[in-house]
Amino acid sequence: MSDDLGQYEGKWVAMRDGRVVAHADDEETLRARPDVADSDLLFPIGEPPSGFYLINV
């Protein structure tokens, strides 16, 4: 399992102790995997931002 998050763009990853331990196309599939623990941190990896993103200065 690579820790280069660039490989997981558009996917969900499970992270344990700072390392990626599993990945899947969506959250539901990832949570259902037997190698994913309840205590793992789950989040999606997005794509680089495009266009303008006004967050207000």
Q: Which residues lie below 8 Å from residue 36, measured CB to CB, with a gap of 6+? A: 14, 21, 22, 30, 42
Residues 29-48 that bind other proteins (CB under 8 A): 41-48
Asked if 41 contacts 14 with a C-beta cutoff of 8 angstroms, the reply is: yes
Q: Considering the complex, what minimum distance in angstroms separates the CB of residue 26 from other proteins? A: 9
28 binds other proteins (CB under 8 A): no
8 binds other proteins (CB under 8 A): yes
Task: Tell me how far apart the 2 most distant CA atoms of the chain are, in Å.
Answer: 44
Residues making contact with other proteins (CB under 8 A): 4-9, 15, 18, 27, 41-57
